[in-house]
């Protein structure tokens, strides 16, 4: 008798869900994005299938209802400027126990989003960090087209920390959320986990994602799987751990000093500088300036002064005001001083093309291993030649050095000593991360090269 009871119970519990368990049919995903990578991802059938599988896991977890995964998923792309209306539920399925899901993924600009008082966060730093905003909306309908669930979640997307180094794929910003498919899937998974969680009471969240980089043949191959040194930057102080010790570099705000070589009260300057200035084009209508930035090596209690010489030619002013003080004087009239001693003299060249370095705009990478993604399968854009915005050449500590600047907004710095690559660093005006290739390189010498490489004047 006991065996019969057990058998009956097993049968009852095994067949009971078949007749009573609800299922969800993912009717449609609607998307509105100005972002090419996201549009590419949502056109990719295998990724859409993965989205559906992740949604199934999420809905089973939070709503205890699985998704029917036997039908193709439809993604409707809403044209820019078209009014977004609530989806009209139209079901082909006749099973009255099933629910029907419509999921919206709409992108909007941070400016348009935060202008609404209800959306403005208590932490204003989020507004500064925001790269774009994705609005997720889920509508679950019963078979009779009444609403079973109606949830909206605003996701403020900001760039996350990454070991990646290279050319940002346009940079993370509104309408240009440059992320790899894996990062996009993680973003969707995190957002929908919050969206469908019945315990969630948040209307908006911030999610950080790692940016994507364009593949190249000169940064990624050299830094692949190499250990990075990470830098903490706070109020003009850069700190990092190298060779068992903490290094601290402090930089001041940039200042400007007019070179009084003309007029009623000319000052005395070295003859080679004066002669070079007088030979510059448009000498009579130009002004000349020293750009100055103080640095301090805190660990060694040493003070430095960076001093660059610039011509401001009023007949050839740049259209971009930020470039006004980037017409650097030709010749080695640019200096790094240690106290009162001239530690380094160097030249500055602008817009120098490389003869072999390339960027591959059709390939996106995470910037630190071999993972790449072809942004437009079937189409291969021609490689771009790398053009160095600045190349600095000179001597320091009786050694020849070169610093080459590339990347979006000069965020990649290559450092050479005696024609040998010793370091690749990432960052604009402060190092954020770097790879050292010469184990014998002294931290003090690297700090001095960083003072030149991360000056505030190379826009």
User: What is the three-state SS of 11-79?
Assistant: HHHHHHHHHHCCCEEEEEEEEECCCHHHHHHCCCHHHHHHHHHHHHHHHHHHHCCCEECCCCCCEEECC
For the chain, the C-alpha Rg in angstroms (whole number) is 29
Residue 147 has pLDDT above 70, yes or no: yes
Judge whether 7 lies within some domain. no
On whether both 272 and 164 belong to a single domain, the answer is no
On whether both 40 and 161 belong to a single domain, the answer is yes
> Rounded CA gap, 317 and 86, in Å?
52
On whether both 196 and 80 belong to a single domain, the answer is yes
On whether both 423 and 305 belong to a single domain, the answer is yes
On whether both 168 and 254 belong to a single domain, the answer is no
On whether both 433 and 350 belong to a single domain, the answer is yes
Judge whether 155 lies within some domain. yes
On whether both 250 and 358 belong to a single domain, the answer is yes
Judge whether 9 lies within some domain. no
Judge whether 274 lies within some domain. yes
On whether both 193 and 252 belong to a single domain, the answer is no
Residues linked to residue 24 through DSSP beta bridges, in sequence order = 67, 99
Judge whether 6 lies within some domain. no
Element (H, E) at 401: strand 399-406
Give pLDDT, residue 4: 40
Of 71, 78, 77, 90, the residue nearest 26 (C-alpha): 71
Structure tokens at 412: 């990649």
Region 325-334 average pLDDT: 94
Give pLDDT, residue 170: 63
Can you list the positions of beta strands (E) in 200-244?
Answer: 204-209, 213-216, 229-230, 232-234, 237-242
Give pLDDT, residue 136: 96
What is the tally of structural domains in the chain? 2
Chain centre distance of CA 133: 15
**Average pLDDT of the chain?**
89
Give pLDDT, residue 171: 53
Of 204, 198, 205, 200, the residue nearest 61 (C-alpha): 198
On whether both 167 and 200 belong to a single domain, the answer is yes
> Rounded CA gap, 90 and 151, in Å?
20
Can you list the positions of beta strands (E) in 75-228?
Answer: 75-77, 99-108, 132-141, 147-159, 167-168, 204-209, 213-216
Q: Which residue has the higher pLDDT, 389 or 269?
A: 389
8 Å CB contact between 102 and 28 = yes
Give pLDDT, residue 33: 80
The DSSP letter of residue 456 is T
Judge whether 458 lies within some domain. no
Of 221, 216, 222, the residue nearest 421 (C-alpha): 222
The sign one gets for the Cα dihedral 438, 386, 319, 411 is: negative
On whether both 147 and 239 belong to a single domain, the answer is no
On whether both 139 and 91 belong to a single domain, the answer is yes
Select from 211, 238, 264 the last residue of a domain: 211
Classify 355 as helix, strand or coil: strand
Select from 172, 194, 211 the last residue of a domain: 211
Region 197-214 average pLDDT: 92
Stretch among 14-23, 97-106, 181-190, 433-442 having the lowest mean pLDDT? 14-23
Task: State residue 391 phi and psi, 5-degree precision.
Answer: -130, 125
- Domain holding 106, by residue range, is 17-211
- Over residues 260-288, the pLDDT tens digits come to 888 777 788 899 999 999 999 999 899 99
Judge whether 11 lies within some domain. no
> Rounded CA gap, 302 and 343, in Å?
12
Give pLDDT, residue 212: 87
Give pLDDT, residue 15: 36
Of 12, 16, 427, the residue nearest 240 (C-alpha): 427
Judge whether 169 lies within some domain. yes
On whether both 99 and 201 belong to a single domain, the answer is yes
8 Å CB contact between 369 and 212 = no
Torsion of CA 426, 429, 430, 432, to 10 degrees: -30
Chain centre distance of CA 237: 22
Select from 159, 178, 211 the last residue of a domain: 211
Matching residue, tokens 């209800």 = 118
């Amino acid at each position: 008798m006991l065996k019969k009871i057990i058998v009956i119970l097993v049968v009852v519990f095994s067949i009971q869900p078949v007749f009573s368990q609800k299922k969800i049919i993912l009717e449609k995903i609607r998307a509105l994005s100005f972002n090419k990578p996201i549009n590419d991802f949502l056109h990719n059938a295998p990724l859409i299938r993965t989205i559906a599988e992740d949604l199934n896991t999420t809905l089973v977890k939070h709503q205890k209802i699985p998704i029917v995964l036997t039908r193709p998923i439809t993604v409707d792309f809403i044209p820019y400027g078209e009014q977004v209306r609530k989806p009209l539920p139209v079901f082909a399925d006749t099973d009255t126990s099933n629910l029907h899901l419509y999921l919206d993924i709409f992108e909007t600009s941070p400016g348009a989003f935060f202008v609404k008082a209800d959306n403005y966060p208590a932490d204003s730093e989020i507004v500064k960090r925001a790269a774009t905003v994705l609005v997720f909306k889920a509508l679950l309908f019963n078979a009779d087209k009444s609403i079973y669930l109606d949830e909206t979640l605003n996701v403020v997307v900001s760039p996350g920390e990454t070991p990646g180094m290279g050319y940002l794929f346009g940079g993370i910003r509104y309408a240009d959320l440059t992320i790899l498919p894996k990062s996009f899937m993680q973003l969707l998974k995190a957002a929908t986990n919050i969206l469908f969680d019945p315990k969630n009471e948040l209307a908006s969240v911030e999610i950080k994602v790692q940016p994507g980089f364009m593949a190249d043949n000169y940064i990624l191959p050299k830094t692949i799987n190499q250990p990075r040194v990470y830098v903490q930057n706070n109020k003009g102080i850069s700190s990092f751990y190298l060779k068992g010790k903490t290094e601290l570099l402090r930089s001041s705000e940039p200042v400007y000093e007019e070179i009084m070589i003309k007029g009623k009260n000319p000052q005395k300057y070295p003859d080679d500088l004066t002669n070079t200035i007088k030979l510059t084009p448009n000498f009579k209508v130009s002004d000349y300036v020293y750009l100055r930035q103080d640095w301090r090596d805190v660990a060694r209690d040493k003070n430095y002064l960076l001093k660059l010489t610039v011509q401001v030619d009023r007949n050839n002013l740049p259209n971009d005001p930020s470039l006004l003080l980037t017409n650097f004087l030709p010749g080695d009239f640019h200096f790094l001083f240690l106290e009162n001693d001239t530690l380094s003299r160097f030249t500055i060249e602008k817009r120098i093309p490389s003869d072999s370095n390339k960027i591959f705009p059709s390939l996106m990478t995470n910037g630190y291993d071999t993972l790449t993604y072809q942004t437009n399968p079937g189409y291969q854009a021609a490689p771009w030649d790398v053009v160095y915005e600045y190349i600095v050449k000179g001597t320091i500590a009786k050694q020849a050095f070169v610093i080459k600047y590339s990347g979006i907004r000069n965020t990649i710095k290559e450092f050479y000593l005696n024609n040998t690559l010793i370091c690749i660093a990432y960052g604009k005006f402060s190092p954020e991360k770097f790879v050292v290739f010469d184990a014998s390189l002294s931290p003090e010498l690297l700090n001095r090269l960083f003072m030149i490489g991360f000056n505030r004047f190379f826009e």
